[in-house]
Amino acid sequence: MPGSKKILKFWEYFLTTISWLGSMYLFFSVGFLLFFLLSKGIAAINLNLFFGSAPIWPAIIGRFPVWDGIWPAFVGTLALGFLSTIISLPLGIGCGIYLALFAKQPWKLYFNFVVDLLASIPSIVMGLFGFALILFIRKTFLPQANTCLFLASFCLAILVLPYLISTTENAICVIPEEKRLIGISLGLNHWQNFFFVLLPQASKGILSGIILAVGRAVEDTAVILLTGVVANAGLPRGLWDKFEALPFYIYYVSSEFRGPTELQKGFGACLTLLILTSILFLIAHILQKWISR
């Protein structure tokens, strides 16, 4: 009918326009944010921002404390991202593999519901969970227990776990049935088929989940605020000590700065965190391309 064709064409143009407007809004929002951070923080990116008045090499190796630079927070952020990823990787990927290949209904439905529920938990609630956990441990069997780097990494690992589970499960589930049966038809057993056929094909999607997890772990503030981060803690000396982190440093400076110089250092820390996450994503992208080849 001519009338119905006009209505369909109208909706097609309308949805196309909405899509373009949404894309342009995202593009200009990100561009404005980058321009703002660059204009405010590029002048602060220097060795003084990282080390302050401390000598560089002794500060890098921890022989000299850094009181007016972000080097301890930079190292603490890397330690947080590394530890939380190490803790969450085997759990997240293993659970995703189980849901994709072994779980049967209705258990698969229940597990997916729990994963979605975990993904919806606000980060501040996860921080409160970590704080309550350390209070419980201190009261029951370890009176000297305290908030620390390991506790913060553990809570962040739980926070990013749904990303790894969902992306791993989806990466395996989208493999076509004929490709799933290649190894079986050649005489491979179930685990050989998984490692040599399914895993290489799903590696791109799994690595995407790892990228999301790392990015989520290094930028969160609410969790670490209640689980061990403090100002001027210095370089992390171990898993059970207090630490510094760039997100908390940015929060601390933006709320208590005493002059334009200190505020500019906060913008420099924002730009440093953005560059750090971009480098991590770039490394993961290069690794993803290498795995694909």
Query: In the numeric block, which tokens belong to residue 171?
Result: 């990466």
Whether 274 and 216 have beta carbons less than 8 Å apart is answered as no
User: Which of the four pLDDT bands, split at 50, 70 and 90, describes residue 293?
Assistant: low
Q: Collapsing DSSP states into helix, strand and coil, what is residue 229?
A: strand
Proportion of the chain in helix, strand, coil states, percent, rounded to 5 = 75, 0, 20
pLDDT digits (tens, 9 = 90+) for 3-38: 567 777 777 888 888 888 888 888 898 888 888 888
Q: Which of 125, 89, 79 is nearest to 242 (CA)?
A: 79
- Cα separations in angstroms, 78 against 81, 100, 245: 5, 31, 9
pTM of structure:
0.85
Mean pLDDT of 98-104: 84
- What whole-number distance in Å separates Cα of residue 262 and Cα of residue 44? 10
Looking at residue 3, what is its pLDDT?
A: 57
Looking at residue 154, what is its pLDDT?
A: 92
Superfamily for the 45-292 domain: MetI-like (1.10.3720.10)
pLDDT digits (tens, 9 = 90+) for 63-73: 888 888 889 98
Whether residue 291 has pLDDT greater than 70: no
pLDDT digits (tens, 9 = 90+) for 187-234: 777 777 778 878 878 887 888 788 878 888 888 888 888 888 888 888
Across 140-149, 162-171, 178-187, least confident range: 178-187
Looking at residue 4, what is its pLDDT?
A: 67
Q: Which residues lie across from 189 on neighbouring strands?
A: none
- What whole-number distance in Å separates Cα of residue 193 and Cα of residue 180? 8
Q: Collapsing DSSP states into helix, strand and coil, what is residue 227?
A: coil
CA dihedral 145, 148, 150, 151 (to 10 degrees): 70
Show me where the domains of the chain are located.
45-292
Backbone angles phi, psi at 243, to 5 degrees: -155, 170
Helix (H) or strand (E) holding 270: helix 260-292
End-to-end CA distance of the chain, in Å?
50
